Structure 1
Amino acid sequence: MDLSIVVPLFNEEESLPELCDWIHRVCTKHFFSYEVILVDDGSNDNSWQVVQQLRQENQRIKGIKFQRNYGKSAALNEGFKAAQGDVVITMDADLQDSPDEIPELRSMIIEQGYDLVSGWKKVRFDNTLTKNIPSKFFNAVTRKVSGIHLHDFNCGLKVYRKKVVKSIEVYGEMHRYIPVLAKWAGFKKIGEKIVEHRARKYGVTKFGWERFVNGFLDILSITFVGKFSKRPMHFFGLWGTLFFIIGFIIALFLIVSKFIDADTFITNRPSFYLSLTAIIIGMQLFLAGFISELIARNAPGRNNYLIEEKTGFQEK
């Protein structure tokens, strides 16, 4: 199968028929074999009934319905699990992403050899201060932290090589940082394409201001887990040792000064409490690293590594 098109949705009953018809026209025109996986994230309108009706009209359309609302990341993760196409495309269900972009996005994977290509909505129709400024800030932070030079990490229109979506797990609010997850999984060729952004035709946006706070916390989580998930002691132990040494040096200085000036009360000096605090923090960090190391060594996935290719081995 050429394409799997994963569409997470929440209360999008009006836009689904038009979207699926548009996808069908594009794929038929270019002779793509395809499937559309509609993931209903606990909608409370008639979205699932519409999905079932569309399935009856077109057997290439498949549906997954959550019992309650879990979020876009969960919807994408389930869609990725179900995807069978060699190339996987994600897009939003609100018709702000154009299916006309599908052929060029697919070409960048098949012909140009990218692992992942993210859309960049350079010209937007929702360019409000409350959305645009925070978005630019978090994109800049993510570029700096991850080293991936994309302008719009949050764009829903993305295309992946199948192996990418089968190698990552999307959870929490991590859908904004799938390129970062892909990079930590070892996929280096990540590209960007300017795509059309369309004005919303039906309904209202489903995302509020809290996505910015959650997004900031998630990028910290991704960075830490990506670097230190299999060796947490390297992080906690380093900082724990550093704080402990600083506290110990200050304490040693205070003890020496006590011998020089016997009338000085160590506990009356602010540096005593600074030393004590640094030693306690250092011990806590070191203990946290030790416990994390024990957990990591006993985790079921402690020796699960992504292997790109093997040679000389017989298939079992």
Structure 2
Amino acid sequence: MKATIIVPVFNEAESLPELAHRLREVLSSQNYDYEVIFINDGSCDKSREVLNNLTKEDPKVKIISFTRNFGQTSALAAGIEHASGEVIVPIDSDLENHPEDIPKMIAKLNEGYDIVAGWRINRWQNQTFTRRIPSDVASRLISFISGIRLHDHGSTLKVYRVSVLKGIRLYGDMHRFIAAYLSWHGAKIFEMPIGYTPRKFGKSNYGVNRVFKVILDLIALKFLTRYFHRPMHFFGGAGLVSIFIGCIAAMASIYYKFSTVHQKDFISTPLPMIMALFIIVGVLFILMGLLAEILVRTYHESQKKRTYEIKEKINF
């Protein structure tokens, strides 16, 4: 067996030497082969120089450098495409995940699971309120909408069988939902506690806006998974609901117009118009967003176009 470790990197030069050393120490003692693929996602610090030095020290270290920053999803997609192992292990480059957890996760995978997801059980110790709440809300939303009950959807450290990843195409910020997406398609998933250490260098880019991105991305993914081949079930249902609401509003207008008790001109106030306007505009924007998602994916599939551009590859 061979394991492929995928490490997306964006401005993490200070943490890379320690991460590479710990990965080498842990994996070299196992009875299976491995490779470590670092994806330099358009870093503008010294990450590229540090990574180049790492390839000289260890032939198992490989580098893919993007022409610019394409995001974590594209970085994972590139790593998966270039992986030669039967097991895929994404891990953060900021030292928050512990490389020492990888062997026990792979051992659990070999018990018959397709995915082993890490649960950062002590993540919120000494964490600020503004960091904890958005991440907690985002994880709960993913569980609620997807129906996949995990404690920690946001953990990058997971172990996948390469067989369940074959054919999957990643877009947008889909990296948050890979486990849920694969579970929808029948993958057997197990969640286990893993270690967590707050980052030593730099700062996290996650904030309150992450919650809104999660909601929109998950709605799009859920739609594409359920209704891509039968969109009329979705749009028709939404249309019927809209018509039903309109009928209720019409009956209310008639009631207020002709009622002897509450007689008043229903359209004399701007509130009904404002309510209708915002509901219609909101529905239209969501539907246009879903249509745009279909068009983007159709374009990529038909053109076989990647969501990233590679500048150079080392040790491949």
Q: Same fold (TM over 0.5)?
A: yes
Shift of 1:130: 0.9
Deviations 1:178-223 (A, max 9, x none): 2122123x1331111100102323x212413132322222122222
Q: 1:238 to 1:44 in 2, by over 3 A?
A: same
Which string of whole-angstrom CA distances, capped at 9 and with x for unpartnered residues, describes residues 273-315 of structure 1?
A: 88xx69x96xx98xx79x96xx78x95769xxxxxxxxxxxxx
Show the counterpart of 1:117: 116
- Cα deviation for residue 90 of structure 1 reads 0.9
Consecutive unaligned residues of structure 1, counting only runs of 5 or more, are: 259-263, 303-316
1:174 CA drift (Å): 2.1
- Aligned mates of 1:15, 1:75 — CA distance in 2: 18
Q: Which residue identity lines up with residue 230 of structure 1 in the other structure?
A: H
Tell me, in whole angstroms, the C-alpha distance in 1 between the residues paired with 2:236 and 2:90.
Answer: 40
Q: 1:208 aligns to what?
A: 206
SS of the aligned residue for 1:5 comes to: strand
Q: Report if the CA contact (8 A) 1:174-1:215 is conserved.
A: no
1:132 aligned partner, one-letter code:
R
2:68 partner amino acid: R
Which protein has the larger Cα radius of gyration, Structure 1 or Structure 2?
Answer: 1
Q: Which has the higher contact order (CA 8 A, sep 6+)?
A: 2
1:226 aligns with 2:225: yes
Q: Does 2:195 align with 1:188?
A: no
SS in 2 for 1:223: helix
**Partner of residue 98, structure 2:** 98
Q: For residues 199-257 of structure 1, give each alpha carbon's deviation from its aligned partner in whole angstroms, at most 9, with x where no partner exists.
A: 323x21241313232222212222222211221111011221343356468769999xx
Moved more, 83-92 or 19-28: 19-28
Matches within 5 A, 1:9-158: 9-110=9-110, 112-124=111-123, 125=125, 127-158=127-158
Give the Cα–Cα distance (whole angstroms) in 1 for the partners of residues 140 and 191 of structure 2. 15
Q: How many residues align?
A: 288
Residues 128/101 of structure 1: CA separation in 2 closer, same or farther (3 Å cut)? same
Q: Aligned partners of 2:298 and 2:171: how far apart in 1?
A: 18
User: Quick one: which amino acid aligns to residue 234 of structure 2?
Assistant: F
Larger CA deviation: 92-101 vs 134-143: 134-143
| RMSD of Structure 2 on Structure 1 (CA) | 3.6
Compute the displacement of 1:173 (Å): 2.0
Unaligned runs of 5+ in 2: 258-262, 303-316
* Structure 1 residues 174-185: aligned runs within 5 Å: 174-184=174-184
C-alpha separation between the residues in 1 aligned to 2:210 and 2:64?
24
SS in 2 for 1:8: strand
1:7 counterpart residue number = 7
